Amino acid sequence: MPTMELKHPLIEHKLAILRSKTTGTKEFRELIKEISMFLCYEAMRDAKLEKAEIETPIEKMKTKKLDEDKYAFVPILRAGMGMLDGVISVIPNAKIGHIGMYRNETTFEPVNYFFKVPKGIEKREVIILDPMLATGGSAIDAIDLLKSKGVKKIKFLCIIAAPEGIKKVEEKHPDVSIYCACIDKKLNQNKYIVPGLGDAGDRIFGTK
């Protein structure tokens, strides 16, 4: 499935502030939340609605509603937690799972240390959250873990992505849709996204 890059003046404006090294922790978190909300709206374009009947202050009417119980958000710890508030504001009753990974600074490969998802995860559409899609290693491992639990429909939401990471994920998991706010130029020799925005986890949590 093709990667969807959000093209919108508001997104470009917010990304410009997000990327700036002078942007503080509070504003950085707020921008991650806002952009994540926009990404979730785009990712839900194909959502299936169910028939329902409600009563307005004027009369009863037939309408359609989303069965929020059919969805789960799974942030990749720790940076993915910064996106959670934004997507929860769109689907507040979705279930939440967690995947813990860190990057080995020698091999640049992801190391898994935590995996916990809600019961019945295989019956839900799962949306993985991670601000950065760099080498693609963490994304592929997260998708592998979820598929091993029987999950059939997976989407991946990120703020920025490198072409190298997108290519790897699309080759390994062509059935997974990727939604990002911007596709950047490349990875540098340390496997960081260029121009990027630095370490998203450190900037979200103020740890550097």
**Which residues carry out catalysis?**
103, 107, 199, 202
Contact 79, 149 (CB under 8 A): no
Contact 75, 98 (CB under 8 A): yes
Which residues on adjacent β-strands are paired with residue 129? 75, 157
State the Cα–Cα distance between residues 66 and 72, nearest whole angstrom: 13
SS (H, E, C) 61-105: EEEEEECHHHEEEEEEECCCHHHHHHHHCCCCCCEECEEEEEECC
DSSP, collapsed to helix, strand or coil, labels residue 2 as coil
